[in-house]
A and B are shown apart, each in its own frame.
Chain A
């Protein structure tokens, strides 16, 4: 696989992994975090520092990134997850920017705004693909369990959820920890592909883009989120010929989706192997008929 396509695959999969986690949070509890780029940064820097400064092997660096992102997620979640939805969104936006500012403010430790170079390039196409599939499966499994039902109950009616003994705060803590862990994993995978990271890569535009992906994909559809993540990663490449105009087209697509499909492209519809097979049969069946005629 050429470098160009490997790069595209890595960036796409990084988006998918964060989206899977963020979908769990937004689609599960209704809370929107505008600070996930900060957790990408935490993952990227944790693994980057562990592997360069302490010479930890790549798998341990990834694990460290996941664990530390989850711990920060729990610490941030403790005071913020009890807030109303709009305040949680604002608080996380602040947290994301604070993480970035903190990384810039510690040049001796993190390299500051100059960045952290020389991270070993370990993220291969197979590693990123495998971890992407694992992430999606974990989120799907969570949603298909009693925890998924609890999350949906919290999203639709927190009061009624409490009345059936759901510990709303604890459930949100678990979900936010998973969301942040996946963001950390994605950040680490990114760092070990591009080998150089600096704080400007993880600004709040990035956080907003990630939230946009979930909303475009559909708040009730994990496969919708995954599809949107792929689309958002690939669209700028497809539109590369259009240069400056591609951001215009991108914004237009997002706008049209929000206006004409406010539930997201997929709404509550989930792609399954059966539905994929049906689409495949339709396509091939149609082709055969055309061939016969």
Chain B
């Protein structure tokens, strides 16, 4: 089922130059529609830059980003998010001081059908719309198993739960694709195992196309149907994890010259 419903997402020949440094060089990735695609590579390989290009935080110097054939290249971050690209951040970015519920509820603003004048006058419409928002927020929290924590302050939670909350917030927007930027960063092994189960269940339940950047090979191995390896801003291999792991270019990048002959 998931294969049929997931959104097609791809980007072609993405390039970004900072000063004289080519951070991302001619990168082309086609995500598995309705599946989980991984981008791996060492620190500084350009993975996070790729995400920032896709989600509009950086403007690409060249290339094209396509969601279901719709060209998102060079649009503003909020427009890209509105078009259906949800994301999380490597260093979790929750809204400080907001409750767990409000963190998620904030992400529902586009689906709430009232304008500034309704809000200023607090017309009866607001009550019913806000009620709907709360239900939708609770639904998203249930999806990540955080219903009991709804009243707590988001930023006071343990790291693993903050990560879940960030995912719930992104899911509340009902995105067509979800970008996870090193979701296992800073988590302990138990939390990583929980996270793997969570991502898998979201993928299965929603048929959502997911793109994940990760160092953590266990996570990549247990989740990703397709993997792209990056080095010095370029994609050096793509395919199943086994194919990528045995690719001479990858072995050379990770283990040094001569490794592929061993």
Contact = CB atoms under 8 A, between A and B. Distances in A.
B21 interface: no
Interface residues of A, number: 27
A268 interface: yes
A149 B89 CA distance: 20
Contacts of A159: 57, 77, 89, 93
Contact of B105 (A142, A144, A149, A160): A149
A164 B120 contact: no
B169 interface: yes
B95 A165 contact: no
B223 interface: no
Nearest to A157: B93
A74 to B, nearest CB: 13
Interface in B113-135: 114, 116, 118-122, 126, 130, 133
Nearest to B104: A164
Given A160-B89, A160-B93, A165 B110 contact: yes
Contacts of A150: 106, 109
Given A141-B119, A149-B105, A268 B97 contact: yes
Contacts of A167: 76, 78
Contacts of B86: 163-164
B120 A163 contact: no
A149 B106 contact: yes
A181 to B, nearest CB: 11
Interface residues on B, range: 35 or more
Contacts of B89: 159-160, 163
Given A145-B119, A165-B110, A157 B96 contact: yes
A162 interface: yes
Contacts of A164: 81, 86, 106-107, 109, 169-170, 172-173
Contact of A165 (B57, B94, B126, B173): B173
B102 interface: yes
Given A150-B106, A157-B93, A162 B78 contact: yes
A141 B81 contact: no
Given A165-B78, A166-B78, A174-B116, A146 B93 contact: no
A42 interface: no
B66 interface: no
Q: A142, A157, A163, A174 — which one has the most chain B CB atoms within 10 A of its CB? A: A163
Contacts of B119: 141-142, 145-148
Interface string B75-111: 0111101100011010001111110001001111110
B22 interface: no
Interface string B121-162: 110001000100100000000000000000000000000000
Q: B86, B119, B130 — which one has the most chain A CB atoms within 10 A of its CB? A: B119
Contacts of B193: none
A153 interface: yes
Q: A159, A164, A167, A174 — which one has the most chain B CB atoms within 10 A of its CB? A: A164
Interface of B: 55-57, 76-79, 81-82, 86-87, 89, 93-98, 102, 105-110, 112, 114, 116, 118-122, 126, 130, 133, 169-170, 172-173
Given A141-B121, A160-B89, A162-B56, 18 more contacts: A141-B122, A147-B116, A148-B119, A152-B95, A156-B95, A156-B96, A159-B57, A159-B93, A160-B95, A162-B76, A163-B77, A163-B89, A163-B170, A164-B86, A164-B107, A165-B82, A166-B109, A174-B116
